[in-house]
Amino acid sequence: MDVSLGKIKNAETGETLTFQMNPGSYRVDHSLDYKTNSVLGSAAPVVSYRSGGPAVLSFNLVFDVDLGGKDLVKKVLPFFKGAQTVQASTRSVSALEFRMGTFQFTGYLRRYRYSAERFDSKADPMAIAVEAELISDGSFEGESAS
C-alpha cells in the first residue's frame, strides 16, 4: 500500500524520493520586472512592465527511517547531489519534478541544505532534514490529474 504524500523525481534519470508526512507547507514565489521613469511635475513615476521573472518553489522535507526505511534515508544525499551533475546528453543539470497531491512544479535545483538527525549505533543518520528550492520560468507549475 502506497502511503506517500508526494514525491520528487529526477526528470533525466527517473530516480524518485517519496515522502509521507511533510512538508507542512510549500511556497511558490514569482517575480516580475518593472522599469520606472520619472516624469517632471508628476507625483509618481511611470511604471512599465518589462518581463516576468523566475518562479521559485521552497520546501522543507524530513526523510526518516521510521517512515521510509533505511534505504530511503541513504538515497537522499546522492539524489540531491545528482541533481547538480551536468548530464552529458543535454549538457545541463536535470530538472526535478515536485508533486504533492494535485500540485506539481518542475524546475532546477537552486539550492539545498540538509542536516542529519538522530543516529543509530553505527553513527548513521536515522533522519535527514532537507531545505530546498527549485527554480523555473514558471511554465512547468500547476495542477495535475494526480
Q: Is the peptide bond before 78 cis (omega within 30 degrees of 0)?
A: no
pLDDT over 80 at 124, yes or no: yes
pLDDT at 143: 56
pLDDT over 50 at 33, yes or no: yes
Domain assignment of residue 137, given as a range: 6-143
Most confident of 19-23, 42-46, 105-109: 105-109
- What pTM value is reported for the model? 0.79
| 1 located within any domain | no
Q: What is the mean pLDDT of residues 55-78?
A: 87
pLDDT digits (tens, 9 = 90+) for 69-82: 788 888 999 999 98
| 13 located within any domain | yes
| 88 located within any domain | yes
pLDDT over 80 at 139, yes or no: no
CATH number at residue 127: 2.40.30.200
Total of domains in the chain: 1
Query: The cell 518542475 sits on which residue?
Result: 106
pLDDT over 90 at 131, yes or no: yes
| 116 located within any domain | yes
